A and B are shown apart, each in its own frame.
Chain A
Amino acid sequence: MVKLRGTGLSAVNYPTGMNLGGDPSQALIHATTSGSFVVSLSATDLGQGLRTVIGQIAAEALGVGMDDVVIDTADTDTGPHDMGTFASRATHRVGNAVIAAAQEAREALLDVAEDELEAARSDLEFDGQGNILVRGAPDRSMKIADIAAAAQFKYGRTIAGRGVYMKPRSPVDPETGAMDPDSTEAHACTVAEVAVDTDTGEVTVLSIRSAYEVGRQINPALVKGQIVGGAWMGMSHALYETTQPYYPDPAYSPKDFSEYLMPGAYEMPKIECVVLEYPSSNGPYGVKGVGEMTANSPIPAIVNAIYHATGVRIDELPVTPELILRGLDARARAARLAETSTTPDS
């Protein structure tokens, strides 16, 4: 048994937001009389942590702590319209809508704070901890909770804000394909290292190491979660997964997880990453979408690594042991042929 090792490189870009735009998201924010802010949305959390990330954006934009933000999402009786969670759009679109709504809510707070603190608006500032301060007068400050209560019970005013974000829909020129498909682009570069068993055709992925540029990380732990989970899915796509293993023959289609191949915890390689931040011009705090792309760059990096290990080019997915063994056989045959053709006639 020989284990051949090789390294492969890939680099990718990935667009943020629904292709061609036209995918609005709204947010509504209102303050309760206890000073917490309800952020009403219709985006869904698929596990990527949308509620957490949007909570962070809302807290940042409102100038309050995370505990004072309640995310109420995906109930169409209370949440305003949202296009949905797909196309690496949710943090970008919803985040922008939340910032717009928070700005309006802050203005409403400042209206009341001016009266309550008897200070000029230009002297008021948020401390980010749930208070509004009068600049240069540390003893004159008010809790946002008290301002919200005063708004309701003393002044009869609402503390609320509306926000929407939409990249206008771009038409496509059907002749040239001229179009504006994206809001911004994130980037990744992956280096994969594999070992290929020449007897069985089995590929062991030894490491997947990547650099990602994602604009701004709202929550670095969640970004890393996407990168590690995406590396797994990319590896799974590269080497294992399909519903039709003999495509285009539709037969032998797996029915369940016992038949549908995926790597498990045992197969996972070392996954390392570095994350760069070059804020985008139009994302909330410079965000770019990172959800989908993390599965993309590992695939060609692994396939290229297999080539550099074995000399076998495989242009199809998934790369099965059978494809590798057939490729190795073909190379061996070609080498023998080359040898015989250079042997002088006897």
Chain B
Amino acid sequence: MSPAMNVVGRSVPRSDGIGHVTGRTQFTTDRSFPGLLHLKIVRSPLHHARILGVDLSEAERVPGFVRALTHADVPHNVYTILGLIGVEPEEEFVLAEDRVRYKGEPIVAIVAESEDAALEAVARVKLDLEELPAVFEVEEALRPGAPIVTHWGNNTFMYEGHPCRRVRFGDVEAAFARADHIVEGVYNTKPIEQAPTETTACIAVPEANGRYTVYTNTQAVYFSLDNTAIILQVPGNKLHFVGGTVGGGFGGKVDVIVEPLATLAAMKTSRPVRYAFSRSEEMQVSSTRSAWRIYMKDGVMADGRIIARKVTSYADSGAYSRQTPYALTKHAANAAGPYAIPNVSIDAYCVYTNRQPSSAMRGFGITMASFAIEVQMDKIAEVVGLDPWSIHFINAYRDGDMKPHRKLVEDATLIETMQAAAGLVGHELPARFRAMTSARRPEGGV
């Protein structure tokens, strides 16, 4: 490849910049359509309940009410978003049937001539609910006798017969036995909202040729189209998704929540339908970053080498798993961090609770692992009596090292990156760390 580049490596101006600074960039709800209807959701006021009855009679009398959609209107009402990549079982209800599993779970969709009318009708739907015991804490959810959230009898996602994604590398217990120090930590993090400044939204428009155009701010147009086609049981060629301009995502717009119902409503009414989250729906109902609890135990030698790491992680998936099973596998692949640790054991659990579902967010599965690992590194430095820089250099992985998930390290540059950071902050590194590189270790070297 030619070393001389014409445009790669240059800070050329953004092609969408003028649109952004003039406000001409067209975001999803900036589009208008004659006859546009508005869709709003009747949501569960309880964390866990049996649905005994839904009375729409008063809602139907609200001026501007067009129609209601219930689970009976949804052709394939139980789905799992990662079904497209083979994840099973189907578990989430587009609209609740006989039970709600989290506060805010959708029960009925109301379509009306105006947003105000839709909200008024939503307020007039009468729900007859029988409250059920709920569970909100990951380890409580795993105890015998805990309220069961799922429809298969326990509160974990199952990974090929295991209740967690596991990594087993070397012999952790033997290494702990010979370690000079054991350093332990329990790391807890709370749910976080992606909070893009533009809320999740779409407008589904019936076309003259019998197809439906769906304008959406999804992060993944085909992922949304394919899931919509499954839920509505229509051939994909009936659907035309248009997107690409997204007012922030951070993972919050990878779920497929608004498109199936808006498209169904457009099919049932032959009118364009808008379904846009309010800010409070974005905060209180849409997926968050999971809360995590991470137990981390490291066996460390007096010279600072970490010889064993045991991790048990619980991600609070909420009532449905959405993308979280994927996150735990990604977490398990990365919970040793960028370090060469010869003995590693990881159990990563995707746990169901009666909480608003969690799903993808920036750094998915890894952000909180990095938090735990790096606080742990600081503790190790203190226990061993070395400075934090030294602990990082001593344990940094190199090309050719074996990761716990049994892939050889390649493209390693941790050492060079840390050297550059030390230079940036004016930290004087000892000669042996200045001389280190991420190059493959000599045969038999450590």
Contact = CB atoms under 8 A, between A and B. Distances in A.
Given A209-B421, A260-B193, A86 B392 contact: no
Interface in A271-291: 272-274, 276, 278, 280-281, 285, 288, 291
A76 B168 contact: no
Q: From DSSP, what is the main secondary structure of chain A's interface residues?
A: loop
A212 interface: yes
B191 A244 contact: yes
B416 to A, nearest CB: 6
A247 B291 contact: yes
B374 interface: yes
A285 B5 contact: yes
Contact of A175 (B8, B10, B166, B410): B166
Interface residues of B, number: 117
**Highest count of chain A CB atoms <10 Å: which of B137, B242, B360:** B242
A46 B248 contact: yes
9 contacts: A19-B333, A172-B165, A187-B412, A211-B421, A212-B417, A219-B10, A219-B12, A273-B424, A274-B423
A206 B239 CA distance: 51
Given A20-B329, A56-B10, A211 B222 contact: no
A216 B326 contact: no
A220 B188 contact: no
B278 to A, nearest CB: 9
B435 to A, nearest CB: 17
Interface of B: 1, 5-16, 47, 85, 103, 136-137, 159-162, 165-169, 185-193, 195, 218-223, 225, 239-251, 253-254, 279-280, 283-284, 288, 291, 316, 326, 329-330, 332-334, 337-338, 346, 353, 355-356, 360, 362-368, 370-375, 377-379, 388-389, 392, 396, 404-407, 410-414, 416-418, 420-421, 423-425, 427
Nearest to A282: B411
A308 B172 CA distance: 30
A245 B329 contact: no
Given A84-B223, A313-B379, A176 B168 contact: yes
B5 A248 contact: no
Given A11-B418, A216-B9, A296-B366, A315 B410 contact: no
Interface stretch (A109-117, A137-145, A146-154, A251-259): A251-259
A2 interface: no
A231 to B, nearest CB: 13
**Highest count of chain B CB atoms <10 Å: which of A241, A248, A257:** A248
Contact of B191 (A55, A190, A247): A247
A191 B245 CA distance: 34
Nearest to B6: A128
A108 interface: no
Nearest to A19: B330
Interface stretch (A29-37, A156-164, A177-185): A177-185
A75 B244 contact: yes
A181 B410 CA distance: 13
Contacts of B14: 49, 51-52, 222
A83 B323 CA distance: 14
B370 A185 contact: no
A304 B168 contact: no
A297 B405 contact: no
Contacts of B346: 177
Contacts of A188: 417
A209 to B, nearest CB: 5
Given A19-B365, A247-B291, A315-B187, 20 more contacts: A19-B333, A44-B245, A49-B16, A77-B240, A82-B220, A85-B246, A128-B6, A172-B329, A179-B406, A191-B425, A210-B424, A211-B418, A212-B417, A241-B192, A243-B193, A253-B283, A256-B279, A297-B374, A315-B185, A317-B188
Given A9-B378, A86-B220, A57 B8 contact: yes
Interface string A56-95: 1101100101100001011111010111111100000000
Contacts of A202: none
A7 B375 CA distance: 13
A272 B326 CA distance: 33
A41 to B, nearest CB: 9
B279 A255 contact: yes
B370 A44 contact: no
A211 to B, nearest CB: 4
A218 B9 contact: yes
Contacts of B85: 22, 169
B417 to A, nearest CB: 4
B283 A256 contact: yes
